[in-house]
Chains A and B, each alone.
Chain A
């Protein structure tokens, strides 16, 4: 099938800048999970669409601000995770829970501001929305309703399932030299699992490459389906093998079991999140956060469902779970980095997509639709 995207869409810095404005500066981005911000003053910093953002819990309310001090543009919160007030370490400018400047110096004559001059100084604030334990941020001045991005069914499932997420989690973040879209396309590519991950992917998952009904009846020229924003998010379900290979994990008796027990659920939240729920007892979340055309920040976290009994060895389960996922992910990233080099050196070539890759083309079609929306508005 003819591809919808060309190598330049993955390698061009100009295209990347358009993408930052059209997609990441306009849509809701997964920025945290509630357990990251559980306590008063807990914060998380990250870069979204090129902007330095801090999410902070003040008395149970999570807000998002620019993490750049209005005085000298220094960074206010320096760590990725922490717990402290919104005070810039450079000259101690302090901001309240709404981002309003409340203190500059104990001697007002040092800055010489009048009350009127400081009244309007505040950190840019961004919209925050939560679904279950998922915390989304929208950087737009006029954020679209989150209901326009995720349909009722998706929101209802995410609310129901992630609302049962435990407060403990394991997390890592690192950079890979590839474009974020190839990461998302990779997770929609079922065929690579029995090939690339032959030795690392658990055998008790039956990956049915031909079982995806989304492309049944399509012809070889690819007919785009509904490319609306809500349809850009997709979900899938794999059944655990019943042939006895499935490991019995004692620890699963110690946690709340979701009604998706026995399944491997995936939510590909457009544009850049892969959320997996395993056997109704654990969550794995991968975020492909773009930093440049050829540079993506990978965020990976694993959490279990809330415990129903004493669970002293929970860190062991989290660690083993993450190691298992990371072994697979590491193979993906090594491959995607090589692919990125290939894309940069083959600008005149195109992908050759097969019938099973309709999910990838659906993603590309939805992506192009979103890229055009801002263009039309302008």
Chain B
């Protein structure tokens, strides 16, 4: 069994550990906590630790969540990458990923997720349980696709997007970078600006960036 080090930067560690153990592809050798240092910063682990992982040929994976619009997870990923860790994608066996779809570093494909032919997924993007990425859709790096989402065919999500559970993105829709949509939202037309739909507020919020 291949060896795996987990770097923990927030989120549901037990969930991820459970899926990895159930799959039996990797043996979790170590779980290391990463200290958070605020916006966009994570204290990298000691260089000697990463050097040891490299020497052993151990794979690394960074566990995080959607906090700070995915930047907490991204910062942790960048810290490990800068330290020379060999970061792998992880795909749960119950998921269905079409042939030819490339899974980049630190991509997480959760339980019962379907990734259909021609889909493109950026590094450090997480797709949570029961979601579907339609044919020829494109999802940028460091996105969070919550549970039960539907990304329709040819839809495009920019970098750092966050979709709450049950979000539906219609065919051919293009979401700008940083789009953040609350739970059970349906988008059928491409918004002209980055859109935030947060159930705490009465109206959508827009970022002009």
Contacts and interface: CB of A to CB of B under 8 A. Distances in A.
Contacts of B180: 319
Interface string B102-143: 000000000000000000000000000000000000000000
Interface in B152-205: 160, 177-178, 180, 192-194, 196, 198, 200-205
A222 interface: no
Contacts of B196: 170, 319
A35 B69 contact: no
A249 B178 contact: no
B38 A322 contact: no
Contact of B192 (A81, A168, A317): A81
Contacts of B177: 315
Contact of B69 (A168, A173, A316, A330): A316
Contacts of B178: 315
B2 interface: no
A250 B41 contact: yes
Given A36-B208, A174-B201, A250-B39, A81 B68 contact: no
Given A81-B192, A250-B38, A326-B201, A316 B207 contact: no
Contact of A172 (B160, B192, B194, B201): B201
A55 interface: no
A136 interface: no
B40 interface: yes
A351 interface: no
Interface in A148-170: 167-170
A330 B40 CA distance: 28
A204 interface: no
A312 B178 CA distance: 11
A168 B198 CA distance: 20
Contacts of B201: 172, 174, 326, 330
Contacts of B55: none
A129 to B, nearest CB: 23
Contacts of A327: 200
A248 B205 CA distance: 26
A167 B38 CA distance: 24
A79 interface: yes
A327 B200 CA distance: 8
B209 A319 contact: no
A264 interface: no
Max chain A Cβ within 10 angstroms of own Cβ: one of B38, B71, B198, B206: B206
Nearest to B177: A315
A54 B88 CA distance: 52
Interface residues of A, number: 32
A196 to B, nearest CB: 17
Contacts of B39: 249-251, 313, 316-317
A201 interface: no
Given A250-B40, A313-B40, A317-B39, A174 B208 contact: no
B164 to A, nearest CB: 15
A215 interface: no
Interface string B31-53: 00000011111000000000000
B207 A315 contact: yes
Contacts of A171: 205-208
B96 to A, nearest CB: 33
Interface in A71-97: 79, 81-82
Given A315-B178, A316-B69, A319-B180, A170 B200 contact: no
A314 B194 CA distance: 13
A316 B204 CA distance: 16
A53 interface: no
A92 B180 CA distance: 35
A168 B207 contact: yes
Interface string A307-336: 000001111111110110011001000000
B208 A172 contact: no
A313 B209 CA distance: 11
A315 B159 CA distance: 12
A322 B198 CA distance: 12
B194 A315 contact: yes
A319 B207 contact: yes
A82 B206 CA distance: 13
A207 B137 CA distance: 51
10 contacts: A81-B208, A168-B207, A170-B206, A172-B203, A172-B205, A174-B203, A250-B40, A313-B40, A316-B68, A323-B198
Interface of B: 37-41, 68-69, 71, 160, 177-178, 180, 192-194, 196, 198, 200-209
CB-based closest 8 A-B pairs = A174-B203, A174-B202, A172-B205, A315-B178, A168-B209, A313-B40, A170-B207, A316-B69
